[in-house]
C-alpha cells in the first residue's frame, strides 16, 4: 500500500498531566504516515484522485490547539481517529512529540508513537 508522510506539524496546545500544562500550554509536534492508494492519482495527475493533505494538517493543528487531555496517549489517539475519518485512509501512524516536557533535569523529548487501522465501523461512517 502507498503512503504519504506529513512531518513536523506544529501546534500550541494544552494537553498534560500537570495543571500548569493545561493553563499555560506548550508546543507539540506531530508526524503522520497515512496509508492511501495513490495509483489513480499517479496516473491522472488530479488532486481529486488523491488526498488533500492540507485538510489533514489543518485538522491535526485544530485538535492539538483545542483539546485538553491529561495524557499524550489520548491526544495521539484522538488524532488517529480524526485522520481515519478521511475516507481514503486505511491506516495511520501518529508520532506525537512534546519537545519541552516540564520534567526537572530532563532536556529530551517525549514521543508517543501509535498505529491504527480503519475498522469496519469507521469505514461505514466515512462513506
Domain boundaries, the chain: 3-126
Q: What is the pLDDT of residues 83-97, one digit of tens each?
A: 999 999 999 999 999
Is residue 98 part of the annotated active site? The answer reads: yes
Instruction: Give me the count of residues in the chain.
Output: 127
The cell for 56 is 489533514
CATH of domain 3-126: 3.30.1130.10
The dihedral through the CA atoms of 63, 39, 50, 85 has a sign that is negative
pTM: 0.90
Say what angle helices 53-66 and 72-84 make with each other, to 10 degrees: 150
Contact assessment for residue 9 and residue 30, using Cβ atoms and an 8 Å cutoff: yes
Q: Among the options 40, 95, 98, 109, which is catalytic?
A: 98
Q: What is the pLDDT of residues 27-75, one digit of tens each?
A: 999 999 999 999 999 999 999 999 999 999 999 999 999 999 999 999 9
Contacts of 5 (CB under 8 A, 6+ apart): 31, 32, 33
Amino acid at each position: 500500500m502507498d503512503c504519504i508522510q506529513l512531518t513536523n506539524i506544529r501546534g500550541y496546545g494544552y494537553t498534560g498531566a500537570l495543571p500548569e500544562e493545561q493553563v499555560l500550554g506548550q508546543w507539540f509536534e506531530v508526524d503522520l504516515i497515512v496509508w492511501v492508494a495513490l495509483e489513480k492519482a499517479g496516473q491522472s495527475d488530479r488532486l481529486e484522485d488523491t488526498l488533500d493533505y492540507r485538510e489533514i494538517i489543518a485538522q491535526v493543528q485544530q485538535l492539538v490547539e483545542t483539546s485538553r487531555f491529561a495524557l499524550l496517549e489520548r491526544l495521539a489517539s484522538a488524532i488517529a481517529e480524526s485522520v481515519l475519518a478521511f475516507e481514503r485512509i486505511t491506516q495511520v501512524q501518529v508520532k506525537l512529540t512534546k519537545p519541552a516536557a516540564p520534567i526537572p533535569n530532563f532536556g529530551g523529548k517525549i514521543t508517543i508513537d501509535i498505529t491504527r487501522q480503519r475498522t469496519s465501523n469507521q469505514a461505514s461512517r466515512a462513506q
